[in-house]
């Protein structure tokens, strides 16, 4: 199967000069911003609505609708925040997009700002993206120097400042209300909704928060129109989408494909197939918080609706591929350990449950599982799902529930053998579950 389409977000990736202002402008960059500055906020929102653009951060909420929720008569300032806190395991397309083409993010952010009459916007970049933060910082400096930011941007009478804010290592800050808390100098705990950020977001003012990929789609939508945007992708998931494929593939990387492209194309044509020609065992279609799919789903179309039908979520489009030598219990333990580490601690099921699940999964992988641990894990999956304060625990549940659903036998084999069937037997392995309980969290404070 071959893939014919017109690249959009990645179209200039072969030209490193696009990372500079001059290079970006030479390719027509900031033209959309100039056009947007001539348009009313309502018209901008309408064109984005018409395009059918859906948020690329995971939830797939229609972007134009999100913008339209911002009230304009509160007497408070409005804010736009670009969510560049890309942290979902397996996901790195925002990084490459903004690293190669930082001005497109600035332009998209500026257009969003114009749409909701915002004069101060933020780009929240995850701290670990140290280099990408520097790229962004340089691009912002260029944009200020070039008159695309600051007073009277792009020759208009519209003022806009964009401040770069670096995170400091917290996955939860990708959750938009946690991000707002973080930006306000608080612990990155998610906030109660309502009020929604569109009404009461940053500094208790109306705020739009969009993912990097979402915002980077905006300039073209403004410049070329909603119909052009809809010319690729599906009816309900129009446009192209960035996918990251990693793990056991020959050519891991970030690939732009139209929504609705079969997974097989991504895996085989773009990713070069499973590493060393081994058999596909399982994959996450949208990052580690989306339920695992198996080789049976190899022909699933990569769009919101089709993946949901297959029992998972498009998420961030992060495909992690496991082959037949990989242990699902080990993988589940590692993913759940991630969620335990990243739990903000605010709510009980996420904080305590992910901690417990990590321990039980660790025991199972280490051959210290008991038969009743398997129904216990089932229960835990149920007890996390949709019961925590935010969706982080739903990701934990997805790992547990989907791995049990598809690979229950493998769990049972761990118990039966008293070891991981995919690992060589360890003569040193003990049998005392307590011996494996992790040490208490150390006192961080001096």
Partner 1 sequence: MTVFVDAVRREAGSIIARYPQGRERSAIMPLLYLAQSEEGRVTREGLQEVAGLLGLKTAEVEAVATFYSMYRLRPTGEHLVNVCTNLACLLRGGKDVYEAAHRAAVVAHGEELSEDGLLSVHEEECLGVCEFAPAVQIDFANHDNVTPERMGELIAELRAGRTPEPSRGPAMRSFRHASRVLAGLERPEEVGA
Partner 2 sequence: MRGGVTLTVDGKEVTVPKGTLIIRAAEQLGIEIPRFCDHPLLEPAGACRQCYVQIEGQPKLATSCTVGVAPGMVVKTQNTDETVAQAQEANLEFLLLNHPLDCPICDRGGECPLQDQTIAYGPGDTRFIEAKRTFVKPIPLSPLVNLDRERCILCARCTRFCDEISGDRFIELFARGAGERVSIAAGEDFESPFSGNTVQICPVGALTAEPYRFVARPFDLSTVDSICPHCSAGCNVKVDVRRGEVVRQLARSDYDVNDAWLCDKGRFAFRFPDAPERLTTPLIRDRGLEPASFGEVLTQVAGRAAGARVAILTGGRLMDEDYYALSKLARTVLRTNDLDHRRSPGAGEAERYVAAQPLSVSYKDVERAKVILVAGLDAEQEIPILHLRLRKAAARGARLWVLHPRRTRLHDVAAHILTSPEEAARLLAGEGPTGNAAFDEAVGALRDAGEDAVVIAGERLAGPAGGAEEAMALAFDAGARFTYVTRRANDRGALRAGVHPRLLPGGRTSADGLDEVEAVWGPVMDREPGRDARAILQACADGDIDVLFLVGVDPLRDAPDAALALRALQNVPYTVVQSLELGSLEPFASAFLPAAAFLEKTGHVTDWEGRGQMLRPVRGAPGLSRPDWEIAAGLALACGGDLGFETLEQLHEEMARLLGPRPITLALPPREDPASASASASASEGLALVTYPLLVDEGRLSERADELKAALEPDAFVEVHPEDAAALGIADAGRARVRTEAGEAELPLRVTPHIAPGTVFVPFNQPGLAANTLLSGTFDARATLEAVAGTAAEAVGDEVSA
Which of 340, 364, 374, 400 binds partner 2 (CB under 8 A)? It is 340
Q: Does residue 194 have a cis bond before it (omega within 30 degrees)?
A: yes
By CB under 8 A, tell whether 354 contacts partner 2. yes
Which of 151, 341, 416, 423 binds partner 2 (CB under 8 A)? It is 341
Of partner 2, partner 1, none, which one does residue 184 interact with (CB within 5 to 8 Å by kind)?
partner 1
Shortest distance, position 130 Cβ to partner 1, whole Å: 4
Contact 125, 132 (CB under 8 A): yes
- Alpha carbon distance 126, 423 (integer Å): 35
CA 128 remoteness from chain centre: 15
CA 318 remoteness from chain centre: 8
- Alpha carbon distance 277, 289 (integer Å): 27
- Alpha carbon distance 417, 257 (integer Å): 43
Shortest distance, position 399 Cβ to partner 1, whole Å: 10
Shortest distance, position 347 Cβ to partner 2, whole Å: 5
Shortest distance, position 311 Cβ to partner 2, whole Å: 17
For 123, 321, 348, 388, 398, the CA distances from 241, given in Å and listed in that order, are 21, 18, 35, 29, 23
Shortest distance, position 442 Cβ to partner 2, whole Å: 8
Shortest distance, position 280 Cβ to partner 1, whole Å: 13
* Residue ranges that bind partner 1, judged by CB under 8 A: 86-92, 94-95, 99, 120, 126-131, 133-135, 137-138, 141, 163-171, 182-188, 203, 244-248, 252-254, 284, 288, 318, 320-322, 326, 330-331, 334-335, 338, 341-342, 344, 439, 444-446
Of partner 2, partner 1, none, which one does residue 372 interact with (CB within 5 to 8 Å by kind)?
partner 2
Q: CA torsion angle for 335, 338, 344, 345 (degrees, to 10)?
A: 80
Residue carrying structure tokens 């929604």: 196
Piece in contact with partner 2 (CB under 8 A), picked from 52-60, 239-247, 310-318, 383-391: 383-391
Q: Which is nearer to partner 2, 283 or 355 (CB)?
A: 355
Question: For the stretch 294-312, what's the b/e string if a residue is b when 16 or more beta carbons lie within 10 angstroms of its beta carbon?
Answer: beebeebbbbbbbbeebbb
DSSP per-residue letters across 108-167: HHHHHHHHTT-SEEEEEE-TT-HHHHHHHHHHHHHHHHTTSSBSSGGGSS--BEEEEEE-
By CB under 8 A, tell whether 333 contacts partner 2. no
Which of 87, 343, 396, 402 binds partner 2 (CB under 8 A)? It is 343
Shortest distance, position 140 Cβ to partner 1, whole Å: 10
By CB under 8 A, tell whether 371 contacts partner 2. no
- Alpha carbon distance 191, 75 (integer Å): 23
By CB under 8 A, tell whether 141 contacts partner 2. no
Residue carrying structure tokens 């601690």: 345
Shortest distance, position 404 Cβ to partner 2, whole Å: 16
**Contact residues for partner 2, defined by CB under 8 A:** 170, 172, 187, 192, 340-349, 351-356, 359-360, 363, 372, 376, 379, 382-383, 386-389, 433-434, 437-438, 440-442, 444-446
């Amino acid at each position: 199967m071959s893939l014919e389409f017109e690249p959009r977000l990645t179209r200039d990736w072969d030209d490193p000069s696009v990372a500079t202002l001059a290079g970006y402008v030479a390719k027509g960059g900031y033209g959309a911003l100039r056009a947007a500055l001539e348009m009313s906020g309502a018209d901008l929102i309408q064109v984005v609505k018409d395009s059918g653009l859906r948020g690329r951060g995971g939830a797939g909420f229609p972007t134009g609708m999100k913008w339209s929720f911002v009230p304009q008569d509160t007497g408070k300032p409005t804010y736009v925040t670009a969510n560049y806190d890309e942290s979902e395991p397996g996901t790195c397309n925002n990084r490459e997009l903004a690293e190669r083409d930082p001005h497109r993010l600035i332009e998209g952010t500026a257009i969003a700002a114009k749409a909701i009459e915002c004069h101060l916007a933020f780009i929240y970049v995850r701290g670990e993206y140290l280099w990408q933060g520097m790229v962004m910082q340089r691009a912002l400096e260029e944009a200020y120097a070039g008159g695309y930011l600051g007073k009277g941007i792009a020759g208009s009478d519209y003022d806009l400042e964009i401040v770069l804010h670096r995170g400091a290592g917290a996955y939860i800050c990708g959750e938009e209300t946690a991000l707002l808390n973080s930006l306000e100098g608080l612990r990155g705990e998610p906030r109660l909704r309502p009020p929604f950020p569109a009404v009461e977001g940053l500094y208790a003012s109306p705020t739009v928060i969009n993912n990097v990929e979402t915002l980077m789609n905006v300039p073209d939508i403004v410049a070329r129109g909603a119909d052009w945007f809809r010319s690729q992708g599906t009816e309900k998931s129009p446009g192209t989408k960035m996918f990251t494929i990693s793990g056991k593939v020959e050519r891991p990387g970030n690939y732009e494909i139209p929504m609705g492209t079969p997974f097989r194309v991504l895996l085989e044509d773009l990713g070069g197939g499973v590493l060393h020609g081994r058999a596909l065992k399982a994959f996450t279609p949208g990052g580690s918080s989306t339920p695992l799919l198996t080789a049976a789903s190899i022909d699933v179309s990569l769009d919101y609706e089709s993946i949901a039908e297959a029992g998972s979520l498009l998420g961030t489009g992060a495909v992690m591929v496991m082959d037949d030598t990989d242990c699902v219990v080990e993988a589940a333990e590692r993913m759940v350990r991630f969620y335990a580490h990243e739990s903000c601690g605010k709510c009980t099921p996420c904080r305590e449950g992910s901690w417990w699940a990590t321990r039980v999964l660790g025991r199972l992988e280490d051959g210290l599982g008991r038969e009743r641990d398997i129904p216990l894990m089932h229960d835990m999956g149920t007890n996390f799902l949709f019961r925590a304060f935010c969706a982080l625990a739903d990701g934990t549940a997805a790992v547990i529930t989907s791995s049990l659903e598809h690979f229950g036998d493998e769990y049972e084999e761990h118990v039966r053998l008293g070891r991981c069937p995919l690992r060589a037997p360890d003569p040193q392995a003990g049998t005392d579950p307590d011996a494996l309980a992790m040490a208490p969290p150390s006192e961080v404070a001096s």
